[in-house]
Amino acid sequence: LAKTTQPISMDSYEGQEVNITCSHNNIATNDYITWYQQFPSQGPRFIIQGYKTKVTNEVASLFIPADRKSSTLSLPRVSLSDTAVYYCLVGDRAGANNLFFGTGTRLTVIP
């Protein structure tokens, strides 16, 4: 099982870029890296997923170095509505990538 480690919390001012790094030293060859966002009293919501290098969508970018032992979620120009908990997941077998959440990173955006 590839365990993930993230900072417990982060603060950022509105309009800044936020980078949240996740360590996954035991990532396996078939594992994908997935990030979810969760607001209070709601289920997690998928943000982005990648295998290697860089992935970008309308919400975020995901940077994965060549050794894949870490990944960085980048949120451009955050707003107050980005205040949430962000989870990094690494699948422990091909296809079943959504099993194990850690404690996540609580991001607080300050006006």
Binding interface with other proteins (CB under 8 A): 30, 32, 34, 41-46, 49, 51, 85, 87, 91, 94-104
**Whose CA is closest to 111, among 9, 13, 10, 11?**
13
Q: Is residue 85 a contact partner of residue 7, using CB atoms and an 8 Å limit?
A: no
Please, what is the minimum distance in Å from the beta carbon of residue 43 to other proteins?
3
Q: How far apart, in whole angstroms, are the C-alpha atoms of residue 42 and residue 51? A: 27
75/88 with CB nearer other proteins:
88
6/12 with CB nearer other proteins:
6
Please, what is the minimum distance in Å from the beta carbon of residue 29 to other proteins?
10
